[in-house]
């Protein structure tokens, strides 16, 4: 019995010593705790200045690392006006979170990489609101920015609230009235009533459909999408000219980015038919225009002008 206990004690002591030796040789590196990675965030004023294309402005931001180690941080920005966020300056990779009160929260790394203990990093967040310039100053509240450890963990530090202040056409910021953004789209599309696809050198057929899209109002959105209904068999939507994004062969994105209120834009939709298509009248296709914001379709104030029908013919 005594021999067994003695051996057991020696084994236990040996294992404990080995564990201590391993610990001393290769100390574990723990992730920073909330206290170790604490940070502060502070912001200046966001003043949106009148420009030839709506209002533009920058929010000054400073992040300070209060922890004992160099740490990479990220920020979450809730925009004060739907679709107003543009970018960080200096630029940094950003991603979008689900909408909140119809506004977007954007997650971005703090530019410049790790921040050393006790040091601060300053940058700016750029915003743009595509609405006509008013003669009065305006204000939109509800903007918020927070700082997190930049590895996807929960928020660990400070947050700050901010408002967007719109300078009037005369340059004043005094006595602002609330800025009220449209909650309905005001898009319209027109097009030629027919298009003929002509034979190309490789035996395929190509036609150009002139299209004009108009936009009024200032609802928040990402892009305008036109879906085809009743596209004849063998005919594909080949894209637009000019083109920003590739077509999925049944729809197209209106090129040129977001519209300023009151803007209209004309371009060609390219329609393609494969070699071997039979010349003659093919049928009628309808294009239905949608205003897309995040993953939703924004309701339109007048849906009647959101669609256009076109007759398609292949030249003999």
* Coil vs helix vs strand at 143: strand
Q: What is the pLDDT of residue 153?
A: 63
Per-residue confidence band for 158, with pLDDT thresholds at 50, 70 and 90: confident
**pLDDT score of 130 more than 70:** yes
Domain 39-178 sits in CATH at 2.60.40.1510
| Angle of CA points 124, 127, 131, to nearest 5° | 160
Torsion of CA 290, 295, 301, 302, to 10 degrees: 20
Q: Tens of pLDDT along 195-244?
A: 999 999 999 999 999 999 999 999 999 999 999 999 999 999 999 999 99
Q: Structural domain boundaries of the chain?
A: 39-178, 187-314
Q: What's the predicted TM-score (pTM) here? A: 0.84
State the burial class of residue 199 (Cβ atoms within 10 Å of its Cβ: 0-12, 13-18, 19+): middle
**pLDDT score of 256 more than 80:** yes
**Which residue would you say has higher pLDDT here, 170 or 10?**
170
CA dist 269 and 240 (Å) reads: 4
Q: Tens of pLDDT along 179-189?
A: 999 999 999 99
> Do the domains spanning 39-178 and 187-314 agree at the CATH topology level?
yes
Which of 183, 189, 187 is closest to 215 using CA atoms? 187
**pLDDT score of 27 more than 70:** no
Residue with tokens 């922890």: 67
Q: Are 190 and 308 in contact (CB under 8 A)?
A: yes
Q: What is the pLDDT of residue 8?
A: 35
Domain 187-314 sits in CATH at 2.60.40
**pLDDT score of 35 more than 60:** no
Q: What is the pLDDT of residue 125?
A: 98
CA dist 16 and 25 (Å) reads: 14
Per-residue confidence band for 31, with pLDDT thresholds at 50, 70 and 90: very low
CA dist 306 and 299 (Å) reads: 11
| Average pLDDT value for the chain | 89
């Amino acid at each position: 019995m005594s021999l067994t206990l003695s051996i057991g004690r020696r084994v236990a002591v040996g294992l404990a010593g080995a564990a201590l030796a391993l610990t001393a040789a290769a100390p574990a590196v723990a992730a920073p705790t909330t206290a170790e990675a604490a940070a502060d965030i502070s912001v200046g004023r966001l003043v949106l200045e009148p420009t030839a294309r709506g209002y533009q402005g920058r929010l000054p931001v400073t992040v300070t690392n209060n922890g004992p180690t160099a740490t990479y941080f990220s920020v979450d920005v809730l925009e004060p006006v739907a679709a107003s966020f543009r970018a960080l300056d200096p630029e940094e990779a950003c991603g979008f979170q689900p909408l909140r009160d119809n506004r977007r929260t954007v997650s971005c790394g703090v530019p410049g990489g790790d921040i050393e203990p006790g040091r601060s990093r300053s940058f700016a967040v750029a915003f743009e609101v595509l609405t006509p310039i008013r003669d009065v100053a305006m204000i939109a509240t509800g903007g918020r920015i927070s700082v997190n450890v930049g590895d996807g963990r929960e928020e660990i530090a400070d947050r700050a609230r901010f408002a967007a202040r719109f300078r009037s056409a005369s340059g004043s910021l005094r006595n602002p009235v609330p800025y009220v953004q449209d909650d309905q789209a005001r898009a319209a599309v027109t097009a030629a009533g027919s298009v003929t696809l002509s034979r190309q050198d490789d035996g395929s057929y190509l036609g150009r459909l002139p299209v004009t899209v108009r936009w009024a109002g200032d609802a928040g959105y990402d892009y305008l999408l036109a879906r085809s209904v009743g596209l004849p068999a063998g005919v594909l939507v080949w894209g637009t000219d000019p083109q920003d994004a590739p077509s999925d062969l049944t729809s197209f994105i209106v090129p040129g980015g977001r519209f300023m209120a009151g803007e209209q834009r004309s371009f060609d939709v390219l329609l393609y038919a494969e070699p071997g298509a039979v010349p003659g009248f093919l049928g009628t296709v309808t294009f239905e225009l949608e205003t897309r914001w995040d993953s939703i379709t924004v309701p339109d104030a007048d849906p009647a002008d959101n669609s256009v029908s076109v007759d398609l013919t292949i030249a003999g």
